[in-house]
Amino acid sequence: MAKAVRVSAKEKQDENRRRWGMVIDLDRCTGCQACVVACHAENNVPVVGEQEAARSHSMHWIRIERYWEGEYPNVKARFMPVLCQHCGEAPCEPVCPVFATYHTPEGLNAQVYNRCIGTRYCGSACPYKVRVFNWFRPDFPEPLEQQLNPDVSVRQRGIIEKCSFCVQRIRRVELDADASGREVEDGEVQPACVQSCPPSALIFGDLNDPESEASQLARSRRAFRLLDFLGTDPAVIYLKGGETNV
């Protein structure tokens, strides 16, 4: 049985602040990859093609890992979406010599693209291997350049990039709420992967709000965090598949 996710001292200390996080229900994920496509479209992530992928130059901010459960012929495919875990104790942050990666007060692991000098120390330090390096200047031949999202920069060759929890969407919702003099409502912020997932396997919200759907699911007995024993304190919580929800 998966044990409930513990609340770290850092989370308790920051409990008056938001901590953005995501819950991923592995029982619901069908491996359709709609989240991967949505992430590419939203964040101007280039498609590197088959040849570059074969040279380990793949470029995705979210990947779907596939596992097999059981023995042939009674095997079942299981899928696990893996993205930046926005760790509270992120191993990538202290190793960057130019502070291109840092922690925001809302718990996001941010990346300053025009500060990155491409040492890739962060990519080596990340145990989840969710940071990707731009080996080439991305190419968006006409008319593809017209689909680029103007809220997101197009990254250049020689830098590391990764999932931002669609921070541009978070900021837009926060600004709209501020302008209307109200609080951000639970479920109002929808990163592209969350919005596109057909079975709603991804739930995004404030983990410091005990009433939010994400924090309630994070307290499920099915909840676990990837490589939790490393002490990275991830903000992505998985719900174990194959058990009834609680």
* Residues of this chain that bind ligand SF4 (CB under 6 A): 29-35, 64, 79, 81, 196-197, 199, 201-202
**Closest distance of CB 118 from ligand SF4, Å:** 29
Distance from C-alpha of 25 to C-alpha of 184, rounded to nearest angstrom: 24
**Closest distance of CB 194 from ligand SF4, Å:** 9
Q: Which of 7/80 has CB closer to ligand SF4?
A: 80
| Residues 6+ positions from 105 with CB-CB distance below 8 Å | 14, 17
Q: Is 65 exposed, middle or buried (0-12, 13-18, 19+ CB in 10 A)?
A: exposed
Sign of torsion over alpha carbons 82, 33, 56, 116? negative
Q: Which of 77/175 has CB closer to ligand SF4?
A: 77
Q: Which of 35/236 has CB closer to ligand SF4?
A: 35
Q: Is 224 exposed, middle or buried (0-12, 13-18, 19+ CB in 10 A)?
A: middle
Q: Which of 20/238 has CB closer to ligand SF4?
A: 238
**Closest distance of CB 161 from ligand SF4, Å:** 20
Residue that the structure tokens 């174990």 belong to: 240
Closest CA to 233 of 83, 22, 107, 89: 89
**Closest distance of CB 245 from ligand SF4, Å:** 16
**Closest distance of CB 28 from ligand SF4, Å:** 6
Q: Which of 78/120 has CB closer to ligand SF4?
A: 78
Question: For the chain, first and last CA: distance in Å?
Answer: 12
Q: Which of 160/223 has CB closer to ligand SF4?
A: 223
**Closest distance of CB 54 from ligand SF4, Å:** 22
Q: Which two tokens stand for residue 226?
A: 């990837």
Distance from C-alpha of 182 to C-alpha of 6, rounded to nearest angstrom: 31
Q: Which of 83/116 has CB closer to ligand SF4?
A: 83
SS3 assignment, position 208:
coil
**Closest distance of CB 102 from ligand SF4, Å:** 28
Cβ–Cβ under 8 Å, residues 27 and 93? no
Distance from C-alpha of 82 to C-alpha of 64, rounded to nearest angstrom: 6
